[in-house]
Each structure stands twice: as structure tokens, then as C-alpha cells.
Amino acid sequence: MAKRNPAYFSEIGVKGVSISNGFVQEEYLTKLSGDRGRRAYRQMRDNDSTIGGILFIMEMLFRAATWTVSSDETGPQAEDDIEFLESVLFKDMDHSWGDVVMQAASMLQYGWQLSEVTYKRRMGPHQTNPARRSLYSDGKIGIRRISERAQETLHHWEIDPRSGDVLGMWQQPPYSGNLYYIPMDKALLFRPHLFKGSPEGRSILRNAYRPWYLLNNLQEVEAIACERELTGMPVVKIPGEYLNSSDATVVAKVAEFKKLVRDMKFNHQAGVVLPSDPYYDSEGKPTGVSKVSLELLSTKGSRVIDIDKAIRRYESNIARTMAADFILLGQSDRGSFALSRSKIDLFAWSLEGWLRSIAEVVNRHLVPKLWQANGMDPQKAPYIVPGRVAPEDLTELGNYIESLSRAGIMVHDGQTEDHLRRSGGLPEAPVGEDRPSTMPVEEPPAEETEEDADPNRDS
């Protein structure tokens, strides 16, 4: 018998993430590292219409998805387990399951999201203690809350120095010097991308930062340019001796004219008061030229650089990094319905992948602990399944079902009918109703021959 190598049962290499004293140091841009990065991602979300709109669409589609509970087991016990998990997650928490999904969706913005799980004993609705109050009185361990822990409150991570596994999170609330430790045994960590196993993952806004930064600066330049273009650049002409004088009174007067040019804006209180003294000719007679004059200098013709075109390009780059450039279709004379359909499908598949990642965290780290707390076998525990983000195309689905039925490989069972009813937005089948075992297929009418049309025809 060959001798086993102990190295086969232990890890030799490391994940490679750069962490020092619990602080992740993977980002090479200091503007996106640590607290500065979290502030930058929030600014991108709150101040940019394209990014804010895309994230809003994502969150609303996340909330609209239908979640179900399924099991690989069969029999009455499996049905009881499914009903128990449905009651825990979908009916008996202090908040809705949609709230949990929405707070987990913030992982897209920041790259990670941590929620703390608080359990309770289900002792009935009349209990005054929140740790025991429940809609059910079965005495089982349920879940009271799955509470969000804001990314801005992260102080540092507790990391296993050998394996690199995340052991917990140290949290520092705003305006507080106290630190609170949340162990991973009591938490759920959601990440859209597992970048080197880093607890902070990778934000989907990371690739959008550069176009957002350039777009933000360009929009400010455009606003200033529009203001100057509409109002013109104010120019004050004063006698040359004013500029060369060392007299304190004249210097103060020049400073006032400079302040006038700098602060001049058009509004309902706009107005300028200037001296009306004219220049005099050699004979001492007044001329029509004032010693002090004010005019607005504006550009002539069109600009060489089309700022609006550059802004649209950066907005398109931002949407493309988030697989959501379909929202820009229709803003130009290019694009087709087929192109928009493929882009929307790609966007929906991305969201469904992230929903499945949320479900995997819950099924792997929450449901087994819940089953163990209730003395049940975690290996037989059910699991949650996210529904489709985009609605089914009923025309394509109907043609597909019809093709399978005509081929004789489509079985009409209860699960198939329930799925088709949900896809079409139809009510559920009545409980206890007998259902046919095969899908009914209407045979096409036989083609009529000449003999069928004229049975008295001579052969």
C-alpha cells in the first residue's frame, strides 16, 4: 500500500492577496484604495446620472426577481423542510427578503457587502422579547434579522495569516472610537467578483472610474464654457495711467475694476455703474470716447472640439463597462431592435449570475447553520433558487413547447404546468385538480386530395 503524502491534505500555496494588518492593499490607484475608494464609488453612484441609472435598474430587477425554495430530497419530510425554510426567510423576519437582496446588491457598487445574521427562538407572536417573538410557535430556531453593515464602517479585516481566509470584520461606527468585531460565523459576505480571495472583492464600477473621472471634469468645463459663451467675457477698458500709477487711491480704483470683471454675472440684480468722463481733444472739447468702458467679448463661429460628442463617448464607455450600453440606444441614428435585444439579454444574464451568487452564499453559509441549530441534517437541507430577471418571451416559449409536444418528448406534469403558468403570469392550478399525463397536441388537418373532393370521379 502506497504511503500517503501529508501535503495532499493541506494547502501549500497562498491566494496572493496583498493584506497588511487587516487592510487590503490591492488597488494601485490611491484614490480608490480604502476609505477614499469607498467615498469615490459613492460619489460615482450619487453624482453621475448614467451610473446611478444603471445601478437603479439593477436593484429594481433584483427586487422583482421571484425566489423559491427547492430540495433534492423527496417525501413528506422534504416538503416540511421546504415549508420551514420558506417561513424563515420569506415570512418571519423583521424585514422582507427583498430588503436582504437589495442590501446585498450594494456589493456591485463597492465590491463587497457584509450582513450580520441575528437568530431567534420561534415562541409565538405574543412574546414581548424580540429574540423570541415569531409568527410561529414551534420552538424552532429562526432568523430575526439579516442586517446590513455599511461599507463605510469597515475598519479592518481579521484574516487568517496562513490560509488567507476571512475570519471576521472589525467595524467602527460613525463618530465613535469603539470597534466591534463581527465573526464570519455570524455574517454573510457577498462579492460580485472573487478577486484573489480578497474580502473586498472588486467593484463593477472599477473599470468605469477613468471615463467617469474624465467625464466629470469635462462636464465642469462645458458648464463654464456655456456660461462664458452665453454671457460673454467681460472686458473693462481704463486709462493707461491708472495701471502705471502708484497712488493708493488709483490702485484701489484699479482693484475695484478687476473685482468687477471677476465677479460679473447676469442675474436679476445685475448692473454696472461706470464713470462717464470722456476724453478731451487737443482743443479741450469732449470726445465720444469714455475714459472707462465695459464690453462683453464673445467667440465667433463654431468650436473646433465638439464637447457634446466627447461627453457621449465617455457615457457610452461607462455603460459598456457595466454591460448596460443598451440604455443609450435611440440617442443616435444607429442601432437596431435585434442589437438591443441581444444587449438586453446579455445584461439580464449578468444580473441572474449575480443573483445566483447571492443564493450560493445563503445556501452555503446560512442554511446549513440554521439546520444544525435545529438539530437537523444539513446534508438534506433545501436551498433557495432565484427566478428569472427578464420575463420569458411567450412567443418563443410557446413555439418551443409546441415543437417538443409534436416530437412526443414533452410530458405534461404538474411542475411543467406550474412553470408555464408563472411564466405567463397565469394563476396557479387549483389544489387537487387532476392533470393530464401528456401534453395535448392538436393534429394538423389532412390535406384534401382530388379524390376526396370528388368521390364519384371515375377511376
- Has residue 139 been placed in a domain? yes
Q: What is the mean pLDDT of residues 148-169?
A: 91
81, 177 in Cβ contact below 8 A? Answer: no
Identify the domain boundary among 189, 206, 223. 206
Higher pLDDT, 181 or 16: 181
- Has residue 226 been placed in a domain? yes
Position 335 scores a pLDDT of 52
Position 21 scores a pLDDT of 87
At 67, is the pLDDT very low, low, confident or very high (cuts 50, 70, 90)?
A: very high
Q: What is the pTM of this model?
A: 0.74
Position 339 scores a pLDDT of 62
- Has residue 281 been placed in a domain? yes
Give the pLDDT confidence of 358-400 residue by residue, as tens digits. Answer: 999 999 999 999 999 999 999 999 999 998 887 666 677 777 7
Question: Which bin fits 278, alpha (ψ -120 to 50), beta or left (φ > 0)?
Answer: beta
How high is the mean pLDDT of the chain? Answer: 83
Task: Report how many domains make up the chain.
Answer: 4
C-alpha cell at 132: 423570541
DSSP class of residue 140 equals -
Q: Which residues pair with 143 in a beta bridge?
A: 119
| Claim to verify: residue 398 and residue 427 sit in the same structural domain | yes
Q: What is the mean pLDDT of residues 419-442?
A: 61
- The residue type of 9 is F
Position 263 scores a pLDDT of 74
Give the DSSP per-residue string, 279-315. EE-TTS-EEEEESSEEEEE---S--SS-HHHHHHHHH
Higher pLDDT, 77 or 343: 77
| Claim to verify: residue 61 and residue 134 sit in the same structural domain | yes
| Claim to verify: residue 77 and residue 180 sit in the same structural domain | yes
Higher pLDDT, 319 or 278: 319
Higher pLDDT, 267 or 322: 322
Position 40 scores a pLDDT of 95
| Claim to verify: residue 65 and residue 193 sit in the same structural domain | yes
Q: Which residues pair with 236 in a beta bridge?
A: 294
Residue 422 has pLDDT above 90, yes or no: no
| Claim to verify: residue 66 and residue 153 sit in the same structural domain | yes
- Has residue 150 been placed in a domain? yes
| Claim to verify: residue 291 and residue 408 sit in the same structural domain | no
Give the pLDDT confidence of 213-245 residue by residue, as tens digits. Answer: 999 988 888 887 776 665 567 788 888 777 778
- Has residue 217 been placed in a domain? yes
Residue 55: domain span? 12-206
CA distance to 23, 184, 200, per residue, from 37 (Å): 13, 24, 11
| Claim to verify: residue 164 and residue 219 sit in the same structural domain | no
Query: Among residues of the chain, what percentage have pLDDT more than 70?
Result: 81
Position 395 scores a pLDDT of 73
Higher pLDDT, 220 or 91: 91
Query: Among residues of the chain, what percentage have pLDDT more than 90?
Result: 45
At 77, is the pLDDT very low, low, confident or very high (cuts 50, 70, 90)?
A: very high
Residue 458 has pLDDT above 60, yes or no: no
- Has residue 388 been placed in a domain? no
- Has residue 374 been placed in a domain? no
Q: Which value, in Å, is the radius of gyration of the alpha carbons in the chain?
A: 35
| Claim to verify: residue 142 and residue 169 sit in the same structural domain | yes
Higher pLDDT, 313 or 401: 313
Centre a 10 Å sphere on the Cβ of residue 409 and count the other Cβ atoms it contains.
9
Considering only CA atoms, which of 384, 386, 321 is closest in space to residue 354?
A: 386
Query: Cα angle at 367 between 366 and 373, to 5 degrees?
Result: 90
- What whole-number distance in Å separates Cα of residue 95 and Cα of residue 64? 16
Residue 290's φ and ψ, nearest 5 degrees, are -80, 150
